[in-house]
Amino acid sequence: MAFILDYNLAKTKIREIISKDYNDKLKELVNFLYENFEHYSWIGIYVIKDKHLVLGPWIGPHATEHTKIPVGKGICGSAAATGKTELVDDVKSDSRYLSCFISTKSEIVVPIIKDGKVLGEIDIDSDKKEAFSKDDKMFLERIADMLAEHI
Ligand code: SME
């Protein structure tokens, strides 16, 4: 059995293992939501890094060009700045909206908060207008709480 005597090398390796696990978990979560909720047309998890939302695991028919959004910008950035869920029934009528997909009609953005600090968010686009109900909001806020414990 070989021992790793270099603590820095060990730290790098452990960091890799931890981040892999974590991204795999998030990927599994977005896949699960996508497969089980028809009105969730695109799902992504953003994580805050240096005052920006950085896109992590996502699922949907197309990639978004908005992979790095400054906090405060767009619907995503607003939710990150206030720590409050944004539920937009009609994206066309919201001037903050950053367009990703031509098919998107409504959007919900749920911040992931731990100890009063926004760590990231769940962003879901729907091809249906007014797709998200109060039940979606409560459900996704509960998931965000669960995620906060594992981020
Ligand atoms: N529409 C978002 C940008 C992210 S995409 O929906 C994936 C916004 O207005 O912030």
Mean pLDDT of 49-68: 97
Q: Residues 103-125: pLDDT tens digits?
A: 999 999 999 999 999 999 999 99
Q: Which residues contact 64 (CB under 8 A, 6 or more apart)?
A: 42, 44, 55, 58, 100, 101
Confidence of residue 1 (pLDDT cuts 50, 70, 90): low
Task: Please report the pLDDT score of residue 16 as a whole number.
Answer: 74
Is the pLDDT at 10 greater than 90, yes or no? no
Q: Measure the CA–CA gap between 93 and 100, rounded to whole angstroms.
A: 15
Task: Please report the pLDDT score of residue 4 as a whole number.
Answer: 62
Confirm if 131 and 106 have CB atoms less than 8 A apart: yes
Task: Name residue 70's beta-bridge partners.
Answer: 52
pTM over 0.85: yes
Tokens of 15: 């960091």
Residue nearest to atom 2 of ligand 1 (CA): 98
Protein residues whose CB sits closer than 6 Å to any atom of ligand 1: 44, 64, 66, 69, 74-77, 97-98, 100, 107, 123, 125
Task: Please report the pLDDT score of residue 98 as a whole number.
Answer: 97
Q: Measure the CA–CA gap between 81 and 148, rounded to whole angstroms.
A: 17
